[in-house]
Amino acid sequence: MLTKSSTELIRRQNRALVLKALRRKSGQSHTELAAETGLASATVTAITHELESERVVERAEAPPAAGRGRPRILFLQRRAAAYAAFVRVSSDVLQYSLVDYSGTLIDRIDEKRTNSGEKAETFVAGVQSTLARLARRAGIDRSALLAISISSKGLVADDNVTLLWSPVLGDQQINFQRVLEQDWDARITLSHESLLVASALHTSLSRQQDAPIPRLAALSLGHSIGLGIVTMEESGNPQPRAPGFGHMIHVQDGALCRCGSSGCIEAYAGFYAILRASFEVPPNTIPAPFVPFNEIEHIAKLARRGDRMAEFAFRQAGTALGNGLARLISLHGKMPVIFTGPGIRFFELMRPGIDQGLSASLGTRIEGPPEISLSIDEERLVFDGHLNHTMAAIDRDIIAPKILGRGGAQ
C-alpha cells in the first residue's frame, strides 16, 4: 500500500514529466502529452487541470489536424507564471537578460566593463542594481523572479554558487547565493559559461538528429580558453561539465598565464598570448587583462600576409589547443569538437597547429582525428544554455512540487 509521501512523490514526478514535455514543445494537446509522457489519459487530465488552476499553463485553440471538425485544445506555458534573469560575466561586458516562463526574452541590458581592477564589493553592488533595474523596466514584482542564473569563464566551486577565480576579478571570491539572497527570493546558480555552451549544442544537435549524441565537446576561443563536455549517462540524462581545460599545463614552467601559473594552455592560446607571441614579448611578461579585438584582427591580417611571427603566434596557439584535445580524447574517448567564441574568426590560422597537436597522440594517429566544426554565435549558445538549465530547474524544483511563490502565477 502506498504511503502518503510515496503518493506525493509519484504525483510530483508525473507533474514534472508533463512540464518537461511542454518545455520540449510548448503547445501540445492532451493526446500528444499522454503519448509524449507515457502517462494515462486520466493522469494527464488531472495534472493539466491542476496546472491550469495554479495559473501555470493555459489553453489555446488550434485548427483541427485534418482541417475539419472541432478546434484542437493545446496546453502551453502561461508567460506570466514566472520569470528568470540571466547574467553573463565576460572580460569586456556584463549582459543581463530577462525571460518569462515560456522562455521568451523580455528585456536585455549590456554594460561595458572598464577592466580597471574592480573590487568584488563594487562588482556585486552593480549586479544587484542592474537586476533591480531589469525588473523595474519590465514592471514585474521581485517575488515573481524565481531564478537568477549567472555564468562566467572563471573557476566555479562545487556548490554552483561560488566564484573562486575569474579573468574579471582575479582571486576575489564571491558567493552569489549569499550576496543576492538578501534582496531576491530566487533560486541562484553559477555556471561555467562553456558548460552552458556545450549543453545548448548537445540539446540542439540531439534534436536535429532525433537521438541523443553520446558525447561532445565545445571549445571556446577568445580572451579566455574554455571547454565544456556533455556525456550521456546510463540513465539517459545528459551530464555537462566544464573541466579547467584552459589552465591545464601545456609547457612545464612555460609562459605566464592570467591565473598566475606558468605554462597553461591559455597562456599560449588566449588572445593575450597571441599578442605576446606576435610581438616577441618575453613569455614571463604579465598578461594584459583585456586585448581589444581589433588588435587580434590586425595580427591576423599580418599572418595572412605572411608575417613570420604573426603566423607563429596563431600556429603556437593551435598546437597548445591540439595537445590539450589529444589529452581530452585519451581520457574521455573520441568525440565531436565544436569550436566557438570570437577566436574562430582566425581558425584557419590555428588549424595547422591544432592538427599537429592532435597528431602527437597515439590514439588520434590510430583512430583518426575527431570531427571538428565551428559554431559562430556563442552569445546565443550561452543564452540557450541558461534558458535550458534554468527553466528546467524551475519546472522540476518549484512548479512540480507545488512551491510556486505568490509572486509567480498571478
Q: Which residues contact 299 (CB under 8 A, 6 or more apart)?
A: 274, 275, 278, 310, 313, 314
What does CATH list as the number for 81-193+383-399? 3.30.420.40
The grid coordinates of residue 232 equal 550521456
Mean pLDDT for the stretch of residues 98-102: 97
pLDDT for residue 5: 66
CATH architecture, range 4-77: Orthogonal Bundle (1.10)
pLDDT classification of 69: cutoffs 50, 70, 90: low
pLDDT in tens, 198-233: 999 999 999 999 899 999 999 999 999 999 999 999
- In sequence order, the β-bridge partners of residue 239 are 231
CATH 3.30.420.40 fits 196-379, yes or no: yes
pLDDT classification of 247: cutoffs 50, 70, 90: very high
- pLDDT of residue 404 exceeding 70, the answer is no
- pLDDT of residue 196 exceeding 90, the answer is yes
What is the DSSP track for 288-322? PS---HHHHHHHHHHHHTT-HHHHHHHHHHHHHHH
Mean pLDDT for the stretch of residues 22-47: 93
pLDDT in tens, 310-337: 999 999 999 999 999 999 999 999 999 9
Mean pLDDT for the stretch of residues 358-370: 88
What is the DSSP track for 200-252? HHHHHHHHHHTS--SEEEEEE-SSS-EEEEEEE-TTS-EEEE---GGGSBSST
Residue type, 105: L
pLDDT classification of 408: cutoffs 50, 70, 90: very low
- pLDDT of residue 394 exceeding 70, the answer is yes
pLDDT classification of 59: cutoffs 50, 70, 90: very high
Mean pLDDT for the stretch of residues 136-149: 95
- pLDDT of residue 253 exceeding 80, the answer is yes
- pLDDT of residue 65 exceeding 80, the answer is no
- pLDDT of residue 406 exceeding 80, the answer is no
More confident residue, 70 or 292: 292
- pLDDT of residue 2 exceeding 60, the answer is no
What is the rounded average pLDDT for all residues in the chain?
92
- In sequence order, the β-bridge partners of residue 62 are 72
Place of cell 605554462: 263
pLDDT classification of 175: cutoffs 50, 70, 90: very high
> Please, where in the chain does CATH 1.10.10.10 lie?
4-77
> Please, where in the chain does CATH 3.30.420.40 lie?
81-193+383-399, 196-379
pLDDT classification of 234: cutoffs 50, 70, 90: confident
The grid coordinates of residue 11 equal 504525483
Place of cell 518569462: 100
pLDDT for residue 364: 85
- In sequence order, the β-bridge partners of residue 373 are 338
- Using CA atoms, how far apart are residues 57 and 73, in angstroms rounded to an integer? 12
- pLDDT of residue 4 exceeding 80, the answer is no
- pLDDT of residue 117 exceeding 80, the answer is no
pLDDT for residue 66: 62
- pLDDT of residue 41 exceeding 90, the answer is yes
- pLDDT of residue 410 exceeding 80, the answer is no
